[in-house]
Homo-oligomer: A and B are copies of this chain.
Amino acid sequence: MNNIAGHRVMRRAMPRMAAAGVLAAILTISAPAQQPAPQLPEPAKTDPNVLGLMQGFPPPADKTVRLGDGTAWKFPMTRWSFSHMRELVPTAAVARGAGAASPLPRAERELDAIRFQTMSGEAMTFAEALAKTYTDAVVVLHKGRIVYEKYFGAGGTERPHAAMSVTKSFVGTLAAMLAADGKLEPSALVTKYLPELERSAYGDATVRQVMDMLIGVKYSENYADPNAEIWAYLRAGGMMPTGADYNGPRTFYDFLVALKKEGDQGVAFGYKTVNAEVLAWIVKRASGKSLADLLSERVWSKLGAEHDAYFAVDSVGTESGGGGLNTTPHDLARFGETMRNNGKLDGKQIIAESVVADIRNGGDKGHFAKAGYRTLPGWSYRNMWWVSHNEHGAYMARGIHGQNIYIDPEAELVIVRFGSHPIAANPFTDPIVLPAYATVAKSLME
C-alpha cells in the first residue's frame, strides 16, 4: 500500500481489496491498511443537502461540520466542507479587480449519454461517470463556449470549491511566468532565494528541480498512513485540528525548514506537496509579493473573474501553495480557457505564450516513469502540470478527491471538475474520468 499519494496510483494494479484498505484508513485515519472490500456509499445519498448537513440554527450536533473536532475532513462531511472552506479556516482573498466579468458564451450540448469504457473495461455514460466520482461541479468548454455544466451536492456556479492540488499548477505557472520575465532563475540553487533551507532537503536542489518535483526529500503523501508527513504538514498549516498538547510547527515556514533529505535530486519524479510550498515561498521571495497578491495581479484580475478566489492560510497568514486555493467553477474554467488559448483570453495575453508552450511540451518522461503511475503511462510533469503526451496533447491540473482542469488543445476542449470522493487518492477516479474526458473530446470533434 505504499505511495498512495495525492495524485498517485499504486505501483501494482488496483484491486477492490486494496481500495478497501485505503477507504477504511481514510475514514478512520488510524486503521490498518488491509481490510475487507469496501462498498463505496451511493453518491446521491451523501449529498450534503440530502444528509441535512449544516442546516438549521444551530444545526443538530450530528449534522454539524467543524474543523476543531476533525469532522470537516471526514467523508461525507467533506461533501459540505470542500465547498465551505472559508467558513472553517482563515483565508486570503485573490482579488478579481473592479472590472466586468469576461463573457462565457454558451452553446449547450447533450453530453450525459456519451458512452465510454473505464480503464477496467466497464461500460459507462458520462453522466454515470460524474455521479460515480462524487462530482460537485463540472463545466465543459468547447471552443470557448460552455457546452455543458452540472452541479451536485453543495456545488454551484457561485460556490467556491477547494481546488486542492490544482493549486500547485497555479504556483508552477506563476514561477514559470517570473522566470520568463527574468525575475526567477530556474537553474539557481533554491538557497539563492531561501537561504533558510541550506540545511534542509533543499540545500543542494535547484529551483527547476522543485518546479518539476525532482526532489529527494523525506516526506510521505500517503494519506492511508497516519504517520505520513502529509498530516504534520496539514497541522502546521492550520488545516487539521491540533490537540491541546500540540507543540509542533504552526506555520508552513517552520515545517519546511525542518525537512530532511532522502534520495537524490533531479533523477526521479516524486509527487510531494511540500515542493509546491517551497516553490510558493521562492515565488514570494522573487516577486516580493504574497501568493494571493501575485496571483491576483498577474492572473486573476486579468481573467475577468466573476469572484475573488481565496487561499487557506496558516497562523501567520501564509497561503497554502500546495493545496489552499478555492475558486468558483466558472472562474477556474476561465483560467483553463486562457491556458488552452496559449495564455490569451478575450484578446489579452495574460500568460506568456512561451510559458504555456513549456508546460505543454512537458517534462522528462523517464523521470516520471520511475514513479510508477499505472493510470498515467507515458505522462510527464512540468511546472507543476501533468502532461499526457497523448495524440491531442492533453494536459492537466490535478487535485486530490477528484479536482481537475483537463485541457485538450487539439479538441479545443477545457473540462473543469470539482469533486469530493471519499478516498483521498486519484486512482479511484482516474480510471473513470480520464477515458471519459478523452471520449467527450472525440465526441465534440465529430
Q: Give Cα A64 to B315, complex, Å.
A: 10
Is there contact, CB below 8 Å, between A316 and B58? Answer: yes
Give the most central of A59, A87, A281: most B CB within 10 Å: A87
Determine whether A378 belongs to the interface, using a CB cutoff of 8 Å to chain B.
Answer: no
The interface size of chain A toward B, counting residues with CB under 8 Å, comes to: 41
Contacts of A93 in B (CB 8 A): 86
Contacts of A89 in B (CB 8 A): 90
Contacts of A204 in B (CB 8 A): none
Q: Give Cα A33 to B232, complex, Å.
A: 43
Is there contact, CB below 8 Å, between B101 and A98? Answer: yes
Q: Which residue of B lies closest to A193 (CB)?
A: B57
Contact of A86 among B65, B86, B158 (CB under 8 A): B86
Determine whether A141 belongs to the interface, using a CB cutoff of 8 Å to chain B.
Answer: no
Which A residues between 309 and 366 are near B, CB-CB below 8 angstroms?
310, 313, 315-318
A 91-106 to B, binary, CB cutoff 8 A, 1 in contact else 0: 1110100101100000
Is there contact, CB below 8 Å, between A285 and B57? Answer: yes
Is there contact, CB below 8 Å, between A54 and B90? Answer: no
Determine whether A11 belongs to the interface, using a CB cutoff of 8 Å to chain B.
Answer: no
Is there contact, CB below 8 Å, between A66 and B158? Answer: no
- Closest chain-B Cβ to A235's Cβ sits at a distance in Å of 13
- Closest chain-B Cβ to A67's Cβ sits at a distance in Å of 7
A 283-318 to B, binary, CB cutoff 8 A, 1 in contact else 0: 011000010000000000000001110100101111
Is there contact, CB below 8 Å, between B90 and A88? Answer: yes
Determine whether A251 belongs to the interface, using a CB cutoff of 8 Å to chain B.
Answer: yes
Contacts of A64 in B (CB 8 A): 316
Q: Give Cα A307 to B86, complex, Å.
A: 16
A 408-426 to B, binary, CB cutoff 8 A, 1 in contact else 0: 0000000000000000000
Given contacts A86-B92, A87-B90, A251-B58, contact A308 B306 (CB under 8 A): no
Determine whether A401 belongs to the interface, using a CB cutoff of 8 Å to chain B.
Answer: no
Is there contact, CB below 8 Å, between B95 and A86? Answer: no
Contacts of A244 in B (CB 8 A): 244-245
Q: Give Cα A344 to B410, complex, Å.
A: 52
Contacts of A306 in B (CB 8 A): 98
Q: Give Cα A95 to B244, complex, Å.
A: 35
Given contacts A57-B281, A58-B253, A86-B90, contact A67 B318 (CB under 8 A): no
Contact of A66 among B101, B284, B316 (CB under 8 A): B316
Q: Which residue of B lies closest to A250 (CB)?
A: B68
- Closest chain-B Cβ to A315's Cβ sits at a distance in Å of 5
Q: Give Cα A124 to B154, complex, Å.
A: 55
Contacts of A158 in B (CB 8 A): 95, 98
Is there contact, CB below 8 Å, between B92 and A315? Answer: no
Determine whether A392 belongs to the interface, using a CB cutoff of 8 Å to chain B.
Answer: no
Which A residues between 37 and 88 are near B, CB-CB below 8 angstroms?
54, 57-59, 64-68, 84, 86-88
Contact of A315 among B68, B100, B245, B281 (CB under 8 A): B68
Is there contact, CB below 8 Å, between B308 and A66? Answer: no
Extra A-B contacts (4), CB below 8 Å, given A86-B310, A89-B90: A57-B284, A57-B318, A68-B250, A244-B245
Q: Which residues in A have some Cβ–Cβ distance to B below 8 Å? A: 54, 57-59, 64-68, 84, 86-93, 95, 98, 100-101, 158, 244-245, 250-251, 253, 281, 284-285, 290, 306-308, 310, 313, 315-318
